[in-house]
Amino acid sequence: MSTTLITRIGELMTVDDEQRVLRDAAVVIDGDRIAWIGAASDAPAADERVDAAGRALLPGWVDSHTHLVFDGDRTAEFEARMAGQSYAAGGIAVTRDATRAASDERLAALVAARVREARAQGTTWIETKTGYGLDTPSEQRGARIAADGADDATFLGAHLVPAGVDPDDYVREVCGPMLDAVRPFVSWADVFCERGAFTPEQSREVLLASRAAGLGLRVHGNQLGHGEGIRLAVEVGAASVDHCNFVSDADLDALAGGSTVATVLPACDLSTRAPLAPARRLLDAGVEVAIASNCNPGTSYTSSMPFCVATAVLQMGLSVAEAVRAATRGGAIALGRATGEGAIGSIAVGHRADLHLLDAPSATHVAYRPGMPLTAGVWKGGRRVV
Ligand SMILES: N=CN[C@@H](CCC(=O)O)C(=O)O
Ligand SMILES: [Zn+2]
C-alpha cells in the first residue's frame, strides 16, 4: 500500500479528544488510514509528498443529513416563500411526482452529481435519505440508489402521508412491507414528526418498528413549531434529532440528559426564513451539536458545508472551533462513526484518511471569507479526490 506525506501544514485542526491544533505539522496517510501525525520536522519519508505550503488541514466535512434522491426543483415554491409564504410539508408531493417519473439511471446520475458538488467543497462523508417515493416500490428504489450513491443511507418513508391515503393505513405500510423492502439497503430510519406530517404517536410506531428491524434511528423534529419530536427522539434513543428550531426548556433538559445529537441545519433555516436553531444555547447546555446541509429541493438546495459553518459562526454565535467540530466530529457522532478503527470526523492515527486542505492559512477563513472557494484538496479514504 502506498503512503502519502502531507507536510508544511500551517494549521492542523485535529478535532481529536484534546481538540489539538498543531502548527507547522505533517500527516502521513497509509492506504485508507492516517498513520502518523506530528511536527513537519519529525515526519517520516513516504512514497508521495504533498507540500501544503502553510495551508490549513481539517477533517473532511461529515454531512449527516441530506435528501439527494430527487428529480425536479421547487423554484416557484422558493419564490413564493421569499414573497412571504411559509414553508409547509405539502411541497414534498411535488418532488415525489418528479422523482417517480425519473428513470433509475437518471436518479443515480443526479445523486452522483450532487455528491461530486459536495465533495468539491470538502465533504468526505455524506448521509442521504429516501422519502420522495412514498410507496413501497418507489421507496425501495430510492433506498437502493441512496445506498449506491452515498456513504450512509436512511429510510424516510415517513416523510409525508400521500394525499388520498388514510394516515393509519400509510403508517401500517411504512412499518410493514415498505420497511421490509428497504431493509437490505439502509442502516437508518428517520421520521418527519411535525404538524402536517406525522404525529408523535405515528412517529413512535415507525421508529419502534424500525428499531425492531435493526435500524438506527433519526428524527426530523421541532422544525416548524414546538412539539414532541425532540423528546420522542431522546426517549427512543435516536442517534440524532435534526432541525431543532423550536427548543423548550424541557426539550433542552431531555437532550442534555440523553445521548441524542442535536443536528442544526443553518442553510435550511435561511432558505425557509425560520428562526435559527439555538445552537449556542444547546452547546451551553452540554448538548452534542452537529451541523449538516439538509440538501433537498424544498428547504435547502445546497450541499455547501462551508456555507453552513460560516452561518453557524456568523449568525448562530458559535466559535470557529465549535462550528468545525459540529460539521466534522459532530456529524460523525450523529452517524455513530466517531470512534474506533476507521473512525471519521477527526484526525487521529488509525482513523480514516478523510481530509480537507484549505486554500487558506486557518479554518477561521471559512467564516471570515464566506462564500469563497477555499478547498485546495480533498482525500477520501486516503485517495485524493479533489
Ligand atoms: N422537513 C422535512 N423534510 C425536508 C424538506 C423536504 C421537502 O420539502 O422536500 C427537510 O428536512 O427540510
Ligand atoms: Zn431533512
Residues 247 and 110 in one domain: yes
CATH number at residue 321: 3.20.20.140
Domain of residue 274 covers 61-334
Residues 363 and 319 in one domain: no
Query: From the CA of 282, how far away is ligand 1's center (Å)?
Result: 22
Query: From the CA of 381, how far away is ligand 1's center (Å)?
Result: 30
The pLDDT of residue 220: 98
Ligand 1 atom having least distance to the Cα of 91: 8
Ligand approaching nearest to the C-alpha of 271: 1
Q: Whose CA is nearest to atom 2 of ligand 1?
A: 192
Q: What is the pLDDT along the chain (386 residues), one digit of tens a residue?
A: 899 999 999 999 999 999 999 999 999 999 999 999 999 999 999 999 999 999 999 999 999 999 999 999 999 999 999 999 999 988 999 999 999 999 999 999 999 999 999 999 999 999 999 999 999 999 999 999 999 999 999 999 999 999 999 999 999 999 999 999 999 999 999 999 999 999 999 999 999 999 999 999 999 999 999 999 999 999 999 999 999 999 999 999 999 999 999 999 999 999 999 999 999 999 999 999 999 999 999 999 999 999 999 999 999 999 999 999 999 999 999 999 999 999 999 999 999 999 999 999 999 999 999 999 999 999 999 999 99
The pLDDT of residue 47: 98
Residue 340 lies in a domain: no
**Distance from the Cα of residue 238 to its chain's centroid:** 15
Please tell me the pTM assigned to this model.
Answer: 0.98
Ligand 1 atom having least distance to the Cα of 74: 9
Residues 29 and 92 in one domain: no
The beta-strand segments (E) located in 142-211 are 152-158, 188-193
Ligand approaching nearest to the C-alpha of 268: 1
223 close to ligand 1 (CB < 6 Angstrom): yes
Cell 434529532, residue?
241
The pLDDT of residue 1: 82
229 close to ligand 1 (CB < 6 Angstrom): no
78, 245, 272, 296, best to mutate for ligand 1 pocket (most atoms within 8 Å of CB): 296
Residues 240 and 132 in one domain: yes
272 close to ligand 1 (CB < 6 Angstrom): no
91 close to ligand 1 (CB < 6 Angstrom): yes
207 close to ligand 1 (CB < 6 Angstrom): no
Residue 344 CA: distances (Å) to CA of 6, 62, 228, 337:
18, 8, 31, 6
Measure the CA–CA gap between 270 and 291, rounded to whole angstroms: 14
Ligand 1 atom having least distance to the Cα of 223: 1
Residues 268 and 367 in one domain: no
The contacts of residue 113 (CB under 8 Å, 6+ apart) are none
Measure the CA–CA gap between 210 and 189, rounded to whole angstroms: 6
Three-state DSSP at 289 gives strand
Cell 505539522, residue?
25
Query: From the CA of 66, how far away is ligand 1's center (Å)?
Result: 9
| Domain count across the chain | 2
Long-range contacts of 114-120 (CB under 8 A, 24+ apart): 114/66, 114/68, 114/295, 114/303, 115/68, 115/149, 115/150, 117/303, 118/61, 118/63, 118/66, 118/293, 118/295, 118/303, 118/304, 118/305, 119/378, 119/380, 119/385, 119/386, 120/375, 120/378, 120/386
Q: Whose CA is nearest to atom 12 of ligand 1?
A: 299
CATH number at residue 349: 2.30.40.10
268 close to ligand 1 (CB < 6 Angstrom): yes
Output the CA angle 147-277-143, nearest 5 degrees: 10
95 close to ligand 1 (CB < 6 Angstrom): yes
* DSSP secondary structure letter of residue 352: B
Measure the CA–CA gap between 239 and 127, rounded to whole angstroms: 13
119 close to ligand 1 (CB < 6 Angstrom): no
Measure the CA–CA gap between 285 and 349, rounded to whole angstroms: 31
Residues 40 and 179 in one domain: no
99 close to ligand 1 (CB < 6 Angstrom): no
Measure the CA–CA gap between 6 and 13, rounded to whole angstroms: 14
* 8 Å CB contact between 358 and 366: yes
Residue 257 lies in a domain: yes
Residue 192 backbone phi and psi in degrees, to 5: -90, 95
Residues 159 and 37 in one domain: no
Ligand 1 atom having least distance to the Cα of 65: 11
Assembly ipTM: 0.99
Residues 292 and 355 in one domain: no
Residue 339 lies in a domain: no
